[in-house]
Structure 1
């Protein structure tokens, strides 16, 4: 396999499952292995190490200096890992046909810092934009429609932030680590996603997009 080294690229892998040895964690570890082989600088974080509460009414709980008053480590995750990242891979189990509550809380809590009521919101929006995005899902069901909700959410998040939604990997399993037995080899696919996140071709055409008649040279 060709070396796709991107030593300056920073990748955040955010895991929405609380299980450190579950299927989402196994898939995240595979993404990390692939990204590190490609030379990326990788941070792997579990959302519940940083987030202890849901978004509240910022008008009533925002501090006088504009900061969020919820006493957890979300700010560190958002400012130290998410904003500086060139790419983010979101890894989540499918719960009730959506991402986990921990993962959803990450997106919701970001509102506190990109809302106009935050002093540096314009800078935050700039730093949130133009990332390379990947999604890795684990579920017990093989039903294809089970993944549509999470995929649509990340698709629209990517479009909202002018980011490139590069790829999706889904592993099937129930007991911890069972995705390793999935015949579709999602661990290999997750590793490949991490390896190629910053180099793989991405296209999202509009009617006026310049393009030729071939996809591959």
Structure 2
């Protein structure tokens, strides 16, 4: 499969990156092709709701790095979002990508049937603290007619390396086998 991974953490050595790396390594071992986009290190703004998606030959009329990600998503068989939870929600670093996936709907692009996965972690030990990430991704996948094949939801990690005290990386590796 052709899998696009979009990350939303600004910490290259953080917990969600560790899980992302574990997923990608295992997915490639399984024979999948993986293309990774680290949204926090790209220039991606929010949606302007101008409804001119794909009218300029690019996904978005406001030309930024989303126009690098959009064609990869269109060509992909699967999309995996990875991110930490920021203030009980999706981090700003990846939110522009998620919001601008709306462009596929505006332009009536056929993106149905893709597989989708989610890898996320949060500081709190309460597993419902990830709901602000999990629920929007699940609802977005349903709207796009994407099949969520798995989610890795790891509470109780904050400092870089805390993920090593959990099975988060192992769960991420296992997720790779679901594609």
Same fold (TM over 0.5): yes
The answer (yes or no) to whether the contact 1:134–1:197 under 8 Å persists in 2 is no
Aligned to 1:136: 119
CA drift at 1:62: 7.2
Q: Deviations over 1:100-153 (max 9, x none)?
A: 1122211212224431xxxxx22x2x1x22111111111111102101222111
Q: How does 1:1-217 map to 2 (within 5 A)?
A: 9-58=1-50, 65=56, 67=58, 68-79=60-71, 81-115=72-106, 121-122=107-108, 124=109, 126=110, 128-171=111-154, 172-182=156-166, 185-194=167-176, 196-198=177-179
Q: Distance in 1 between matches of 2:119 and 2:26?
A: 14
Summarize the Cα distance change of 1:111–1:141 in structure 2 as closer, same or farther, 3 Å threshold.
same
Secondary structure of 2:75 counterpart: coil
The answer (yes or no) to whether the contact 1:51–1:102 under 8 Å persists in 2 is no
Summarize the Cα distance change of 1:13–1:66 in structure 2 as closer, same or farther, 3 Å threshold.
closer
> Structure 1 stretches of 5 or more lacking a match?
1-8, 116-120, 199-217
CA drift at 1:50: 3.4
Q: Deviations over 1:130-189 (max 9, x none)?
A: 11111111111110210122211111112111111111112331111321122xx11101
Q: How many residues align?
A: 177
Q: Distance in 2 between matches of 1:84 and 1:78?
A: 9
Aligned structure 1 segments of 4 or more residues deviating by more than 4 angstroms: 61-64
Larger Rg: 1
> Structure 2 stretches of 5 or more lacking a match?
none
Summarize the Cα distance change of 1:86–1:101 in structure 2 as closer, same or farther, 3 Å threshold.
same
Q: Distance in 2 between matches of 1:38 and 1:103?
A: 27
Aligned to 1:201: none
Secondary structure of 2:101 counterpart: helix
CA drift at 1:64: 7.0
Q: Deviations over 1:68-94 (max 9, x none)?
A: 342421111111x21111111110101
The answer (yes or no) to whether the contact 1:132–1:165 under 8 Å persists in 2 is yes
